[in-house]
Chain A
Amino acid sequence: MSQLITVHDPRGYPPKVAGKRLAARPETLNGKTLYLVDCLFDNSEVFMDQLKDWFAKNLPAVNTKIIKPRESWVDDADMRAKIEADGSAAILGVGL
């Protein structure tokens, strides 16, 4: 049992990872449109409603809009285009 043996690594081959930069941040959200993206998990709609209400009470100068993708776990290009067209920032949740 003390004999050294050589075996194969069982793992597959990972892809190369290309770095992606973060978007530039605004100094403030005041006067800007912040999208609240409901990721469609059970009860995330309620979470986003509460988040919208929190902004209304605590940061009323931020214009919040709730938006949903067409399906769970699917990249909705139309939704992203809408956010990119008139949004300044986004909060996504509640993801697992």
Chain B
Amino acid sequence: MALEQAGIPAVAVHTNVFARLAQSTARAAGMPRTRQSFVPQPVVDVSPEHLRGYIEGIDPVSKKPFMQGVIEGLTGPLNDEDLKGMSFERSTPRLLAPATEDDLQQLFMDNYWTDFMPVILPTEERVAAMLKGTSHPPGKVVGRMRPTNFREAWELTVEKVAVNAVMAGCKPEYLPVVLAHAASGISARSSSTTSLAMTTVVNGPIRDEIGMSSGIGAMGPYNHANVTIGRAYNLLSVNGQGGSVPGDTYMGTLGNAYNYSATFAEAEDRSPWQPFHVQQGFKPTDSTVSIFFGGRYTTSGFGPRDTWKEKFVRCITAGDHNQPPLIVMDPLVARLFVEMGFDTKEKLAQWCSENAVMPARDYWDDQWVQTLTLPLAVAGVEPHAAKLKAPPDQLVRMYEPEEIKIVVVGGETQGAFRMIGGRYTKAATISVDAWR
């Protein structure tokens, strides 16, 4: 669209399953008549001859020869509608029309405003009670969210966050934690085809103040605060960004169970290591939420047993090549690692980085490494460029030490650990105290 604005006629080619998404994105950008052509899905993992067949074949959306549509899109005369674009203002009402409880539950489901489990309907009384959980005014803008970076960002106010917190079943005292999630600007409901989900970790005094669990069953579903805060983050993402509707604003081919709720507290008091938020520069007395982006894979194990090194390498290398692990481990496991000399999380992350290696050939043969990392490597950005220069059989690291994060959680009934796809960025630890 930027090219069109600069005077360059353009046609965007998409696969047909993205037709609705591509068209709604163009409309929301004010250019609903953007020229688009479509080829069948898939483009990935098919031969050059197969792709040539798409080019010489029929556009599955327009039903015209694909290249006819492309040429017409670049040279066909424009009409008045093409030239003026489409400006419009939308808004959402503060309140919905009165209806029965059953009808409202159905309305929320019909509009994809829920996770398809019953919600607490956000009456004026309930929302007003929820708003008592923060000192911030209802109209204050908390943040903006969008399902992907080429969509328009929608705005979330304190009141809208409170509405979604009510729906999720939160108590008012949880609201600062929910607001911190919203303030991150990181949607828990990306439209990605890869079915992303966010795992979030709460640190600091707020954990005990609101009764969060870092013990038995902390990762769910055995604690009201953990479950409802994680659910609220997902619901406010769905609704705050203007939707997460299959085929339109959600394209995750498999879906992801972490999208119901994946929030827990770190077991700071039983961990032998620094709390996660302190590692990120916060004080122990600060309360924070940290967001880990991914959730596409989970590997697990117990121990550490004599063969823990082999097990860790298998777990890490079994995950996605571009989604570093968030390693969660029971305090029993953490303490044994300390006995083995890993007296900081950083030392264990360093070991993982140095030992979770694979042949360069295998590393690069990954769809998302090809799409996201290869351009950086070609541009000379390290450490990617060095990996690209490596011979096919040379072992290369999957991740740098600082990409691998460790959080201690669990009830000490078992020496269990899990590795969950969870990329962390510095800006993804948000102050809860700022939203009290």
Contact = CB atoms under 8 A, between A and B. Distances in A.
Contact of B13 (A9, A27, A94): A94
Nearest to A6: B98
A14 B91 contact: yes
A20 B371 contact: no
- Size class of the B contact interface (CB-based, 8 Å): 35 or more
Interface stretch (B160-168, B203-211, B298-306, B311-319): B160-168
Of B13, B35, B67, most A-chain CB atoms within 10 Å: B13
B74 interface: yes
Contacts of B7: 23-24, 84
Contacts of B11: 90-92
Chain B binding surface SS class: mixed
A20 B6 CA distance: 11
B86 A43 contact: no
Contacts of B98: 4-6
B76 interface: yes
Interface in B115-163: 121-124, 127, 145, 149-150, 152-157, 159-160, 163
Contacts of B251: 96
B14 A93 contact: yes
A16 B315 CA distance: 47
Contact of B376 (A17, A71, A83): A71
- Size class of the A contact interface (CB-based, 8 Å): 35 or more
Contacts of A6: 95-98, 123-124
Contacts of B367: 42
A43 B42 CA distance: 10
Interface string A1-44: 11111111111111111111111111111000010000011111
A96 to B, nearest CB: 5
Interface string B1-29: 11111111111111100100110000011
A10 B235 contact: yes
Contacts of A7: 95-96, 104, 121-124
A2 B100 contact: yes
Contact of B9 (A18, A25, A73): A25
Given A12-B92, A87-B8, A50 B154 contact: no
A43 B367 CA distance: 9
Contacts of A27: 75
Contacts of A19: 30-31, 84-88
B259 interface: no
A89 B8 contact: yes
A86 B38 CA distance: 26
B60 to A, nearest CB: 13
A46 B91 CA distance: 43
Contact of A25 (B39, B74, B152, B372): B74
Interface in B40-94: 43-46, 48, 51-52, 54-56, 67, 70-71, 74-78, 82-94
Given A42-B45, A94-B13, A96-B18, 8 more contacts: A1-B102, A8-B124, A12-B160, A16-B87, A40-B374, A42-B44, A68-B375, A96-B193
15 contacts: A1-B100, A5-B100, A6-B98, A7-B124, A9-B95, A11-B242, A12-B156, A12-B241, A13-B155, A14-B152, A14-B155, A19-B84, A40-B374, A54-B52, A59-B71
Interface of A: 1-29, 34, 40-44, 46-47, 49-51, 53-54, 58-59, 68-73, 75, 80, 83-84, 87-96
